[in-house]
Amino acid sequence: VSPALYEYGTLRYILAATGTHLVALVPETGKIAWSYPYWKADKWDQNGLIWANTPIWNKDEVFITMGYNYNAVMLKINPDGSGVSEKYTSTVFDNHHHGVVLVDGYVYGSNWINNGKGNWVCMDWNSGEIKWETQWENKGSIVFADGLFYLYEEKQGNVGLVHPNPEKFDLISSFRVTGGTGPHWAHPFICDGKLFLRHGEVLMVYDIKK
């Protein structure tokens, strides 16, 4: 898990992970402010452990998810920053390793049906209610820029431009990446009006500013 810098009010942590725990570190001292045991052996039926998604946060809440039919969890940080409690869990929004994005109170991304299949999901951040779960090509990564989502599904390399919409999966247009080899697992990156997509040994750059 790539770490994330968390800042809210007087609280400032580095959110990182071991194989089993989410850990909040005080940047200035390295002291562990709190830790949360996310992985529990009695709830895991897969061989090995993969937890690849960086936590996302909003105010005093942190969302973590890891795929494989393992519950995603919304955590609420204690007012004094000494620990966390579970606000809710989601059996639907188990994102594999593609990341999720929070926009206007809703979390968007894909979930895990099996290693080769997943749907796209929108979830209410506050309640955990699943607003929709839609099949589009396959599970994949998601980034957000200038009011739009860019989806990159992992199996065939389809790229979708999508409106953030909690009422439906609102696809504007799509195309397919044909260069490169292997799974489409490299996350899209956007900088200076350009969309960077890597597939295997090939890097493609698209002008999206116009």
Dihedral-angle region of residue 105 (phi above 0 means left; psi in -120 to 50 means alpha; beta otherwise): left
- Residue 41 has a pLDDT of 66
- Give which of 21, 26, 22 is closest to 7, Cα–Cα: 26
- State how far the Cα of 4 lies from the Cα of 34, in Å rounded to an integer: 15
Give the tens place of pLDDT for each residue, 79-107.
Answer: 999 999 999 999 999 999 999 999 999 99
Output the pTM of the full model: 0.94
Give the tens place of pLDDT for each residue, 178-210.
Answer: 999 999 999 999 999 999 999 999 999 999 987
What percent of the chain clears pLDDT 70, i.e. is strictly above it?
A: 96
Name the pLDDT band for 45 (thresholds 50, 70, 90). low
- Give which of 22, 19, 122 is closest to 75, Cα–Cα: 22
Of residues 48 and 51, more confidence is placed in 51
Q: CA angle, corner 27, sides to 21 and 31, nearest 5?
A: 60
Average pLDDT, the chain: 94
Give the tens place of pLDDT for each residue, 112-165.
Answer: 999 899 999 999 999 999 999 999 999 999 999 999 999 999 999 999 999 999
39: which 2 tokens?
């992985």
- The stretch 165-173 carries a mean pLDDT of 98
Residue with tokens 């999508």, as numbered in its chain: 162
The DSSP H or E segment spanning 97 is none
- Residue 47 has a pLDDT of 62
Q: Are the CB atoms for 124 and 184 separated by under 8 Å? A: no
- The stretch 34-41 carries a mean pLDDT of 88
Strands of the chain, DSSP E: 4-8, 11-17, 21-25, 32-37, 56-58, 61-64, 72-77, 84-90, 101-103, 106-110, 120-124, 130-134, 140-145, 148-153, 158-163, 170-176, 189-191, 194-199, 202-207
